Amino acid sequence: MFNQILFLYCALVIISTGLLAVRFKNPVYSVLSVLVLFFHMAGLYLILNAEFLAAIQVIVYAGAILVLYLFVMFLVNLRQELKVERFIASHRVSAITSAALGICLLAIIPSFKLGAKGAYPVERIQQLTHTKAMGFELYSTFILPFEIAGLILLIAVIGGLVLARKEREEGCNPGTDTCEVKK
Amino acid sequence: MKVQYKPKRNLLETIFQVEILQGMALTLRKLFSPPITRQYPLEKPPMYPGFRGQHALVRDAVTNDSKCIGCMRCATVCPSRCIHIQYHDDENGKRYVDEYSIEALRCVFCAYCVEVCPVGAITMTEVFEYSDYDRDAIYFNKGALLENWDKFIEGTGYDESYVNPFWRPRGVNASTLPAAQRKSVPADWTIEGQFVGTKVRQEQETEDMAPMEESNV
Amino acid sequence: MQILIIILQIAVLLAIVLLHVAYVTYFERKIIGHMQVRMGPMLVGWHGLLQPIADGIKSFFKEDIIPEQADKPLFMAAPVICLVTMLASLAVLPFAKGWALADINIGLLFIFAMSSLASYGVILAGWASNSKYTFLGGLRSMAQVISYEIPMGMSLIGVMMLAGSLNLTEIVEAQGTSLFSIYLFPQIIGFFVFFVAMLAETNRVPFDLPEAETELVSGYITEYSGMRYAMFFMAEYIGMMVMASIGTVCFLGGWNGPFAIPFFPPFWFILKVYGFLFLFIWIRATLPRYRYDQLMALGWKLLIPLSLLNVVLTGLFKILAN
pLDDT digits (tens, 9 = 90+) for B74-108: 889 999 999 999 988 888 888 888 889 999 889 99
pLDDT band at B170 (very low <50, low <70, confident <90, very high): low
**Using an 8 Å Cβ cutoff, are B67 and B119 in contact?**
yes
Q: Distance from B3 to chain A by nearest Cα, in Å?
A: 6
**Mean pLDDT of all residues in A24-34:** 84
A13 to chain C, any CB pair closer than 8 A? The answer is no
**Mean pLDDT of all residues in C303-316:** 90
User: How far is it between the farthest Cα atoms of chain A?
Assistant: 80
Instruction: Please give the residue of chain B at the shortest CA–CA distance from C30.
Output: B31
A171 to chain B, any CB pair closer than 8 A? The answer is no
pLDDT digits (tens, 9 = 90+) for B112-163: 888 888 787 888 888 888 888 988 888 888 888 888 888 888 877 777 667 6
Asked if residue C225 is part of any domain, the answer here is yes
What is the predicted pLDDT for the residue at B216? 45
B31, B32, B38, B42: best to mutate for the C interface, most C CBs within 10 A:
B31
pLDDT band at C199 (very low <50, low <70, confident <90, very high): confident
Residue B138's SS3 state is: helix
**Mean pLDDT of all residues in B43-64:** 83
Q: Is the pLDDT of residue C63 over 80?
A: yes
CA distances from C254 to A116, C88, C188, C258 (A): 44, 20, 16, 12
The mean of the pLDDT values for chain C is: 85
**A54, A67, A74 member nearest C127 (Cβ):** A74
Q: How far apart (Å, rounded) are the C-alpha atoms in residues A163 and B194?
A: 69
Do B36 and C33 lie within an 8 Å CB cutoff?
no
pLDDT band at B1 (very low <50, low <70, confident <90, very high): low
Do C39 and B39 lie within an 8 Å CB cutoff?
yes
B37 to chain C, any CB pair closer than 8 A? The answer is yes
Q: Is the pLDDT of residue B58 over 70?
A: yes
| Contacts C33 to B, Cβ<8 Å | 35
What is the predicted pLDDT for the residue at B189? 56
Touching A (3+ Cβ pairs <8 A), the chains are: B, C
What is the predicted pLDDT for the residue at B184? 61
What is the predicted pLDDT for the residue at A150? 92
Residues across chain B: 217
| Contacts C285 to B, Cβ<8 Å | 27
In terms of C-beta density within 10 A (0-12 exposed, 13-18 middle, 19 or more buried), how is residue B149 classed? buried
| Contacts B20 to C, Cβ<8 Å | 286-287
Residues across chain A: 183
**B28, B32, B37 member nearest C38 (Cβ):** B37
What is the predicted pLDDT for the residue at B212? 46
Residue B216's SS3 state is: coil
3-state secondary structure labels for all residues of chain C: CHHHHHHHHHHHHHHHHHHHHHHHHHHHHHHHHHHCCCCCCCCCCHHHCCHHHHHHHHHHHCCCCCCCCCCHHHHHHHHHHHHHHHHHHHCCCCCCCCCCCCCCCCHHHHHHHHHHHHHHHHHHHHHHCCCHHHHHHHHHHHHHHHHHHHHHHHHHHHHHHHHCCCCHHHHHHHHHHCHHHCCCCCCHHHHHHHHHHHHHHCCCCCCCCCCCHHHHCCHHHCCCCHHHHHHHHHHHHHHHHHHHHHHHHHHCCCCCCCCCCCCCCCHHHHHHHHHHHHHHHHHHHHCCCCCHHHHHHHHHHHHHHHHHHHHHHHHHHHHHHC
pLDDT band at B215 (very low <50, low <70, confident <90, very high): very low
| Those residues with Cβ within 8 angstroms of residue B216's Cβ, 6 or more apart along the chain or in another chain | none
Which DSSP string do the residues of B49-81 spell out, in sequence order? TT---SEEEPBPTTTSSB------HHHHH-TT-
Angle, alpha carbons A55-A58-A62 (nearest 5°): 165
Q: How far apart (Å, rounded) are the C-alpha atoms in residues A136 and C62?
A: 56
C39 to chain B, any CB pair closer than 8 A? The answer is yes
C35 to chain B, any CB pair closer than 8 A? The answer is yes
Q: Just give the CATH number of B55-168.
A: 3.30.70.3270
Q: Is the pLDDT of residue A175 over 60?
A: no
**Mean pLDDT of all residues in A38-66:** 86
Q: How far apart (Å, rounded) are the C-alpha atoms in residues C144 and C126?
A: 14
**Mean pLDDT of all residues in C23-38:** 89
pLDDT digits (tens, 9 = 90+) for C203-243: 887 888 777 777 778 778 888 888 888 888 888 899 889 98
Q: Nearest-CA neighbor of B34 among C33, C42, C49?
A: C33
What is the predicted pLDDT for the residue at C162? 84
**Mean pLDDT of all residues in A66-91:** 72
**Beta strands B83-89; B95-103: pairing state:** antiparallel
**C34, C42, C283 member nearest B31 (Cβ):** C34
Q: How far apart (Å, rounded) are the C-alpha atoms in residues B186 and B199?
A: 16
| Contacts C138 to A, Cβ<8 Å | 74
What is the predicted pLDDT for the residue at B217? 39
C109, C127, C291: best to mutate for the A interface, most A CBs within 10 A:
C109
Do A180 and B6 lie within an 8 Å CB cutoff?
no
Cα C91 from chain centroid (whole Å): 14
Amino acid at C240: M
C42 to chain B, any CB pair closer than 8 A? The answer is yes
A46 to chain C, any CB pair closer than 8 A? The answer is no
Which of A34-38, B16-20, B211-215 is modeled with the greatest confidence?
Answer: A34-38
Beta bridge partners of B88: B96
C301 to chain B, any CB pair closer than 8 A? The answer is no
A-B C-beta contacts closer than 8 Å = 17
What is the predicted pLDDT for the residue at A101? 94
C38 to chain B, any CB pair closer than 8 A? The answer is yes
Kind and range of the H or E run holding B124: strand B122-124
Kind and range of the H or E run holding B99: strand B95-103
Lowest mean pLDDT among A3-17, B36-50, C148-162, C234-248: B36-50
| Contacts B2 to A, Cβ<8 Å | 178-181
The mean of the pLDDT values for chain B is: 77
pLDDT band at A92 (very low <50, low <70, confident <90, very high): confident
**Mean pLDDT of all residues in C116-131:** 84
**Mean pLDDT of all residues in A10-37:** 88
Q: How far apart (Å, rounded) are the C-alpha atoms in residues C245 and C239?
A: 10
What is the predicted pLDDT for the residue at A16? 93
Structural domains of chain C, count: 1
Beta bridge partners of B122: B57
Half-sphere exposure of B175 toward its Cβ, with a 13 Å CA cutoff? 0
A70 to chain C, any CB pair closer than 8 A? The answer is yes
Do A178 and B1 lie within an 8 Å CB cutoff?
no
pLDDT > 70: percent of chain C: 98
Half-sphere exposure of A7 toward its Cβ, with a 13 Å CA cutoff? 8
C12 to chain B, any CB pair closer than 8 A? The answer is no
Phi first, then psi: what are they for B31, rounded to 5°?
-60, -30
Task: Determine if the pTM surpasses 0.80.
Answer: no
Sheet holding B139-140, edge to edge: B83-89, B95-103, B139-140
Q: Distance from A105 to chain C by nearest Cα, in Å?
A: 34
**Using an 8 Å Cβ cutoff, are B103 and B81 in contact?**
no
**Domain of C285?**
62-321
Please state the domain extents for chain B: 55-168
* ipTM associated with this complex: 0.80
Amino acid at A76: V
pLDDT digits (tens, 9 = 90+) for C258-297: 777 777 778 888 888 999 999 989 988 888 888 888 888 8
A127 to chain B, any CB pair closer than 8 A? The answer is no
| Contacts B5 to A, Cβ<8 Å | 177-179
Q: Distance from C114 to chain A by nearest Cα, in Å?
A: 8
Q: How far apart (Å, rounded) are the C-alpha atoms in residues C124 and C115?
A: 15
**B27, B32, B36 member nearest C282 (Cβ):** B27
In terms of C-beta density within 10 A (0-12 exposed, 13-18 middle, 19 or more buried), how is residue A111 classed? exposed
Touching C (3+ Cβ pairs <8 A), the chains are: A, B
Asked if residue C2 is part of any domain, the answer here is no
Q: How far apart (Å, rounded) are the C-alpha atoms in residues C229 and C219?
A: 12
pLDDT band at A103 (very low <50, low <70, confident <90, very high): very high
Beta bridge partners of B84: B101
Q: Cα(first)–Cα(last) distance of chain C, in Å?
A: 48
| Contacts C105 to A, Cβ<8 Å | 51, 129-131
What is the predicted pLDDT for the residue at C70? 82
A179, A182, A183: best to mutate for the B interface, most B CBs within 10 A:
A179
Do A51 and C117 lie within an 8 Å CB cutoff?
no
Q: Is the pLDDT of residue C41 over 50?
A: yes
Instruction: Please give the residue of chain A at the shortest CA–CA distance from B9.
Output: A177
Which of A80-84, A140-144, B19-23, B176-180 is modeled with the greatest confidence?
Answer: A140-144
What is the predicted pLDDT for the residue at B167? 67
Do B3 and A183 lie within an 8 Å CB cutoff?
no
